[in-house]
Structure 1
């Protein structure tokens, strides 16, 4: 097994790399070589399809080669790029077209798109939708998957910039789309977490039960985001990074924020009692500080529904993604 030794020691917010301590680095390499069959391959540049580029700006992660392989395999190298990955107000859940004779190609394509989401948060929602039809994909689902590939053709070098100048503070955004799925009327939860100005965690997930109001689903999305923030804060602490301030969590539901901040437990919220107490305790303990943000500027909106091009491009520009080959 090969491994790039680029370990860091964190104390408060001061970062000391092993490059600055060559003797310590060699001791670590020798120790790991004694314990495991491994060798030092130098600075990380490529690993499992993820390309890593270093500069004074920070670390840039992308999957350009992997992405080009997807486009080539789909036979769309000469196709016209799409401006955004999925049609707004799509009806894929009610598709009635013919079933694909061989679903293998669809399953393989969607599986590769899932892995591509490691460095492409803009694909999270559309991949979440497409992956629900793996067993019996129809013509409409295949065409929607090809549209995602055509979108990739227009942004092959896009990835995540982990900025070197960002402070080590967490910030969360959460949102939901009530009764989004027409067949089951279950809602969608989406959340996004930044470390400084860099996105480090995001997710789209269908809620396990049917909610009776939009307030319920928004509160459950706040609960999901709070769980992630609590875990990330613990992870940073294990690396020596202390986060004493309450983490900002932005939500676009006034009613959910009112329930979260109101110490009176309402009768109408008993069916989400566990979520309620978890979020309330997080606020009391100073873990999170929920704030209202208008829906038009809610960054997590891109994880809960298919957006039009203008709104999609606006949110994408705020996500911390970067394309070094794009014209400026």
Structure 2
């Protein structure tokens, strides 16, 4: 059942967090996990008419791609690891997304989001290369949006200090790409953070709001 839901995630990014969470317990599942999977299946069936919308007109005049990054600090109550998530939007349409548990324990929310942005930076460069091949790329670096100002300061400051000297070297890839101006990191308010839907469970109203911003809409209502 989880495998089927993972397939559905290819066109229904709003359930990526829930499916990823259930995937962590496939080795030793309990009755509660089965009930959670059935609830996801019920949601998928109840919203079978929903799908991704790729508009023929973009709200962004230059069709630029924007990445949204977020992390749920210490969201896993067992090993205290955080969940990384990112969403890349081309105009009003999601092109790439991910919700995955981090491989290391972050010591702060700043560090968790820094790691998330570093992981997503690799995907950002891949998508930037694809846009260049399609002759739709821009000379400016891709814009990455995070809702943590401390993360932005950490990424733009090349000086090692108490908050960052323990972070694994590979996660400083983000800092290197920003210094080369291949990527740009900017702040966005939490209520505008689209990637929030991929980090943790949300209340129904907030979930539906972000689902709509993510480009997942009822196809029948568009006709």
Q: TM-score, normalised by structure 1?
A: 0.63
Name the CA distance, whole Å, in 2 between partners of 1:244 and 1:130.
41
Count of residue pairs brought into register by the alignment? 220
Q: Structure 1: 5+ residue runs without aligned partners?
A: 1-108
| Contact 2:70–2:117 (CA under 8 A) maintained in structure 1 | yes
Which residue matches 1:302?
Answer: 197
Match of 2:212 among 317, 321, 325: 317
Task: Indicate yes or no: 2:48 matched with 1:156.
Answer: yes
What are the superposed Cα offsets for residues 43-64 of structure 1, whole Å, 9 maximum, x if unpaired?
A: xxxxxxxxxxxxxxxxxxxxxx
Name the CA distance, whole Å, in 1 between partners of 2:207 and 2:27.
29
Matches within 5 A, 1:123-202: 123-166=15-58, 167-202=62-97
Name the CA distance, whole Å, in 1 between partners of 2:103 and 2:211.
28
Q: TM-score, normalised by structure 2?
A: 0.92
| Contact 1:215–1:253 (CA under 8 A) maintained in structure 2 | yes
| Contact 1:260–1:276 (CA under 8 A) maintained in structure 2 | no
State the shift of 1:327 in Å.
Answer: 8.0
Any runs of at least 4 consecutive aligned residues in structure 1 with deviations exceeding 6 A, and if so which? none
Q: Aligned to 2:127, what secondary structure does the other structure show?
A: helix
Point out which structure has higher relative CO (alpha carbons under 8 A, 6+ apart): 2
| Contact 1:220–1:275 (CA under 8 A) maintained in structure 2 | no
State the shift of 1:314 in Å.
Answer: 1.2
Which residue matches 1:120?
Answer: 12
Q: Aligned to 2:123, what secondary structure does the other structure show?
A: helix
State the shift of 1:185 in Å.
Answer: 0.8
Name the CA distance, whole Å, in 2 between partners of 1:262 and 1:274.
15
Range with greater deviation from structure 2 (160-169 or 139-148)? 160-169
Structure showing greater Rg: 1
Q: Structure 2: 5+ residue runs without aligned partners?
A: none
Cα–Cα, structure 1 residues 111 and 181, in superposed 2: closer, same or farther, change >3 Å?
A: same
| Contact 2:156–2:179 (CA under 8 A) maintained in structure 1 | no
Cα–Cα, structure 1 residues 273 and 208, in superposed 2: closer, same or farther, change >3 Å?
A: closer
What are the superposed Cα offsets for residues 281-319 of structure 1, whole Å, 9 maximum, x if unpaired?
A: 222222222111122221111111011101111111100
Name the CA distance, whole Å, in 2 between partners of 1:170 and 1:290.
13
Matches within 5 A, 1:84-103: none
RMSD: 1.8
What are the superposed Cα offsets for residues 27-70 of structure 1, whole Å, 9 maximum, x if unpaired?
A: xxxxxxxxxxxxxxxxxxxxxxxxxxxxxxxxxxxxxxxxxxxx
Name the CA distance, whole Å, in 2 between partners of 1:265 and 1:183.
30
Q: Aligned to 2:7, what secondary structure does the other structure show?
A: helix
Q: Aligned to 2:166, what secondary structure does the other structure show?
A: helix
Q: Aligned to 1:317, what secondary structure does the other structure show?
A: helix
Match of 2:156 among 261, 265, 270: 261
